[in-house]
Chain A
């Protein structure tokens, strides 16, 4: 089998996911939050492809493709919202948007 041991893929995937998760939790700018979410999704994709490699079939890759499609759609909607917000000159700070407070 070519390349490193499959567990390394998982380690990298976990690191990517964690970076993304911390980004979502810590950053305030919606743009960066969106980016962090993309990183998380790609971490997940990497794990899926790694598993696909372990099992030797293509299911994981198909899943990854689906996730990419969803991620693209999400990025479009998210960026659209962010652009609309900046057009209305709203502060680009996720902590300012808490209308759903109980």
Chain B
């Protein structure tokens, strides 16, 4: 069982290492298959771990396995240990399962790229890092995984490094995540001094003796990390830019796994957050705010991937809302279903982009319905699941979160209202995208590609020779994962049906006891309201974009604000980047060059001047030297006489 967990962690690392070391001696495709195999081997390990866990009693499902001591200073020790419990097992399954499908998809999607080997090494590295994050048995390993996924994300966003936008986006993502890492690290410093340990169990036990200030600091630091990694307000600006990476990367990292790490963190560290309720409420509030703001911004985006990216932010907002309220089971449940349907949406979008030779602007698309029926169906399933239409998976998980909000008092009602507004927006932006891309008559661009796709090559900035055109919607390696995820997006929610069974939340209860338990009545009320609002959103979208009965309202001011994404980028540029640059220039010109560099020039110059000054006494006349000697003798004689 625990061997399965280790296999799960190490198989992707071995894959990444093998691809790196073998270099040119293996073919590009082989690299893809090695990565796929490695990740699926990890999935096998995760399944073995799951089976092992299920074989034990509910209260015994927690195992910690230590390989060696990672860091040790005598009084303070951190082991390289894995934790295996229902929470980490769930995450392991999602990461390796969805991850494996996406790597398989990449084999088709990235076919023909110059640097496929590098891509697959990075992908395997990412899966390893993510597994380290969710399996790490102490906060330091969690932080290590946390940082490494940021690194892998940086590498993959900037994979097409000849595009300056991609490199800039990668750097932005890494720096914002590094900010989150830093706040998390601060929280850990407090924990070390207050509890003397970073192991989960021991530090949670130590929270009881901590002052509320310290607790709030720890929780705030952890929340900072979670917010940065999960692209919540106000540290969200990197996620939309991250869409510069290849589409499978967006699906894996920026939808299904990495960005949900913040939710995992809150669930994992729930004793700390529960001991600092103000911060937990803050987390829920941030989630609610993000889900509305991101939904609004998604309304005006024209890039197919960016719409889905904002939708991701919004959905993670729901998860934060749930986790912040203490509905850990539902938050994790939504995390899982979201991984299914969001990966599905991204990969279906990827098939479209692949087919249209790299075009991502939805204004150029339209009428793809007949051309790509399979992808159309998959995208429809994904969209419906996203909006939360029963009986698709999104319905069960999102409504669980909203119902929990109803059970959480006055603040909960406020959050509930935000969540309902969010469902309306979700219906609107999702089906705006859906109708624009798939509905109507084929656009000129679509017509041109009707005879079979040309591959994705021109998504790369450098125009290169087109690969062999292939018929159909894409290679089987791309369509198979889409199909599997479509099925999962439909059935994934049935693990948890209100009033019938509660398998999923029950499974997670030993790890994180929920604070709120919605009653059946609340669940039903929420479901009807949420589906209603969602359908209204869909209907409005149909009115404007499907049937094109009305022109979309042209509210200039609002539109400007939304298109500039509420001016966050501009604000950060003004508040952080420019001051840093200015300060750096000021210090170089004001301190480094004149004072530090100048002082040493001053010393040499001073020495030279002093030399010239003293040198004046050296006339070069022999007699003046002789006179000086004589004078000196006289002075000395007088002094000796006087002193005696």
A touches B (Cβ under 8 A): yes
Binding site for B on A (CB under 8 A): 21, 24-26, 33, 94-95, 97-102
Q: Which residues of B contact A98 (CB under 8 A)?
A: 619-621
B620 touches A101 (CB 8 A): yes
A102 touches B622 (CB 8 A): no
**Binary interface profile of B, 590-630, with partner A (CB < 8 Å = 1, else 0)?**
00000000000000000000001011111111110011001
Q: Which of A24, A101, A102 contacts B614 (CB 8 A)?
A: A102
B630 touches A21 (CB 8 A): yes
B617 touches A33 (CB 8 A): no
A24 touches B623 (CB 8 A): yes
Q: Which of B612, B616, B619, B623 contacts A25 (CB 8 A)?
A: B623
- Expressed in whole angstroms, the minimum distance between the Cβ of B237 and any Cβ of chain A is 67
Q: How far is the CA of A99 from the CA of B619 in the complex (A)?
A: 9
Q: How far is the CA of A100 from the CA of B625 in the complex (A)?
A: 11
- Please list 19 pairs of residues, one from A and one from B, whose beta carbons are closer than 8 Å in the complex, sorted by A's number: A21-B626, A25-B626, A25-B627, A25-B630, A26-B623, A33-B622, A94-B623, A95-B621, A95-B623, A97-B622, A98-B619, A98-B620, A98-B621, A100-B620, A101-B618, A102-B612, A102-B616, A102-B617, A102-B620
Q: How far is the CA of A88 from the CA of B615 in the complex (A)?
A: 30
Q: Which residues of B contact A95 (CB under 8 A)?
A: 621-623
User: Please, which residue of chain B has its CB at the minimum distance from the CB of A25?
Assistant: B623
A102 touches B615 (CB 8 A): yes
User: Please, which residue of chain A has its CB at the minimum distance from the CB of B633?
Assistant: A21
Q: Which residues of B contact A94 (CB under 8 A)?
A: 621-623
- Expressed in whole angstroms, the minimum distance between the Cβ of B561 and any Cβ of chain A is 76
Q: How far is the CA of A24 from the CA of B630 in the complex (A)?
A: 11
B620 touches A99 (CB 8 A): yes
User: Please, which residue of chain B has its CB at the minimum distance from the CB of A21?
Assistant: B630
User: Please, which residue of chain A has its CB at the minimum distance from the CB of B618?
Assistant: A102
Q: Which residues of B contact A101 (CB under 8 A)?
A: 618-620
Q: How far is the CA of A101 from the CA of B619 in the complex (A)?
A: 5
Q: Which residues of A contact B622 (CB under 8 A)?
A: 24, 33, 94-95, 97
User: Please, which residue of chain A has its CB at the minimum distance from the CB of B611?
Assistant: A102
- Tally A-B pairs: CB < 8 A: 36
Dominant SS among interface residues on chain B: helix
User: Please, which residue of chain A has its CB at the minimum distance from the CB of B630?
Assistant: A21
- Expressed in whole angstroms, the minimum distance between the Cβ of A39 and any Cβ of chain B is 14
- Expressed in whole angstroms, the minimum distance between the Cβ of B109 and any Cβ of chain A is 81
User: Please, which residue of chain B has its CB at the minimum distance from the CB of A100?
Assistant: B620
Q: Which residues of B contact A26 (CB under 8 A)?
A: 623
- Expressed in whole angstroms, the minimum distance between the Cβ of A99 and any Cβ of chain B is 7
Q: How far is the CA of A37 from the CA of B223 in the complex (A)?
A: 93
8 closest A-B pairs by CB:
A98-B620, A102-B615, A102-B618, A101-B620, A94-B622, A25-B623, A100-B620, A24-B626
- Expressed in whole angstroms, the minimum distance between the Cβ of A4 and any Cβ of chain B is 25
- Expressed in whole angstroms, the minimum distance between the Cβ of B605 and any Cβ of chain A is 18
User: Please, which residue of chain A has its CB at the minimum distance from the CB of B612?
Assistant: A102
Q: How far is the CA of A95 from the CA of B620 in the complex (A)?
A: 8
- Expressed in whole angstroms, the minimum distance between the Cβ of B484 and any Cβ of chain A is 92
Q: Which residues of B contact A97 (CB under 8 A)?
A: 620, 622
Knowing that A98-B620, A102-B618 touch, tell me 8 more A-B residue pairs with CB under 8 angstroms: A25-B623, A25-B630, A94-B621, A94-B622, A95-B623, A97-B620, A101-B620, A102-B616
User: Please, which residue of chain B has its CB at the minimum distance from the CB of A28?
Assistant: B623
User: Please, which residue of chain B has its CB at the minimum distance from the CB of A27?
Assistant: B623
- Expressed in whole angstroms, the minimum distance between the Cβ of A38 and any Cβ of chain B is 15
Q: How far is the CA of A98 from the CA of B614 in the complex (A)?
A: 16
Q: How far is the CA of A98 from the CA of B621 in the complex (A)?
A: 6
Question: Which of A94, A95, A98, A102 counts the most B-chain CB atoms under 10 A from its CB?
Answer: A102
Q: Which residues of A contact B627 (CB under 8 A)?
A: 25
- Expressed in whole angstroms, the minimum distance between the Cβ of B129 and any Cβ of chain A is 70
Q: Which residues of A contact B615 (CB under 8 A)?
A: 102
User: Please, which residue of chain B has its CB at the minimum distance from the CB of A30?
Assistant: B622
- Expressed in whole angstroms, the minimum distance between the Cβ of A78 and any Cβ of chain B is 12
Q: Which of A21, A24, A33, A100 contacts B618 (CB 8 A)?
A: A100
Q: Which residues of B contact A99 (CB under 8 A)?
A: 620
- Expressed in whole angstroms, the minimum distance between the Cβ of B56 and any Cβ of chain A is 94
User: Please, which residue of chain B has its CB at the minimum distance from the CB of A99?
Assistant: B620
Q: Which residues of A contact B616 (CB under 8 A)?
A: 102
Q: How far is the CA of A98 from the CA of B620 in the complex (A)?
A: 4
Q: Which residues of B contact A25 (CB under 8 A)?
A: 623, 626-627, 630
Q: How far is the CA of A102 from the CA of B618 in the complex (A)?
A: 5
- Expressed in whole angstroms, the minimum distance between the Cβ of A33 and any Cβ of chain B is 7
- Expressed in whole angstroms, the minimum distance between the Cβ of B628 and any Cβ of chain A is 11
Q: Which residues of A contact B612 (CB under 8 A)?
A: 102
Q: How far is the CA of A20 from the CA of B620 in the complex (A)?
A: 21
Q: How far is the CA of A97 from the CA of B625 in the complex (A)?
A: 13
Question: Which of B614, B623, B627, B630 counts the most A-chain CB atoms under 10 A from its CB?
Answer: B623
Q: How far is the CA of A41 from the CA of B354 in the complex (A)?
A: 107
- Expressed in whole angstroms, the minimum distance between the Cβ of A86 and any Cβ of chain B is 18
User: Please, which residue of chain A has its CB at the minimum distance from the CB of B616?
Assistant: A102
Q: Which residues of B contact A100 (CB under 8 A)?
A: 618, 620
Q: How far is the CA of A26 from the CA of B626 in the complex (A)?
A: 10
- Expressed in whole angstroms, the minimum distance between the Cβ of A34 and any Cβ of chain B is 11
User: Please, which residue of chain B has its CB at the minimum distance from the CB of A33?
Assistant: B622
Q: How far is the CA of A25 from the CA of B621 in the complex (A)?
A: 10
Question: Which of B612, B621, B622, B630 counts the most A-chain CB atoms under 10 A from its CB?
Answer: B622
- Expressed in whole angstroms, the minimum distance between the Cβ of A37 and any Cβ of chain B is 10
Q: Which residues of A contact B619 (CB under 8 A)?
A: 98, 101-102
Q: How far is the CA of A99 from the CA of B618 in the complex (A)?
A: 10
- Expressed in whole angstroms, the minimum distance between the Cβ of B308 and any Cβ of chain A is 81
Q: How far is the CA of A97 from the CA of B621 in the complex (A)?
A: 7
Q: How far is the CA of A95 from the CA of B621 in the complex (A)?
A: 6
Q: How far is the CA of A24 from the CA of B629 in the complex (A)?
A: 12
Q: How far is the CA of A92 from the CA of B623 in the complex (A)?
A: 15
- Expressed in whole angstroms, the minimum distance between the Cβ of B631 and any Cβ of chain A is 11
Q: How far is the CA of A94 from the CA of B612 in the complex (A)?
A: 24
Q: How far is the CA of A93 from the CA of B446 in the complex (A)?
A: 105
Q: Which residues of A contact B630 (CB under 8 A)?
A: 21, 25
User: Please, which residue of chain A has its CB at the minimum distance from the CB of B622?
Assistant: A94
Q: Which residues of B contact A21 (CB under 8 A)?
A: 626, 630
Q: How far is the CA of A97 from the CA of B620 in the complex (A)?
A: 7
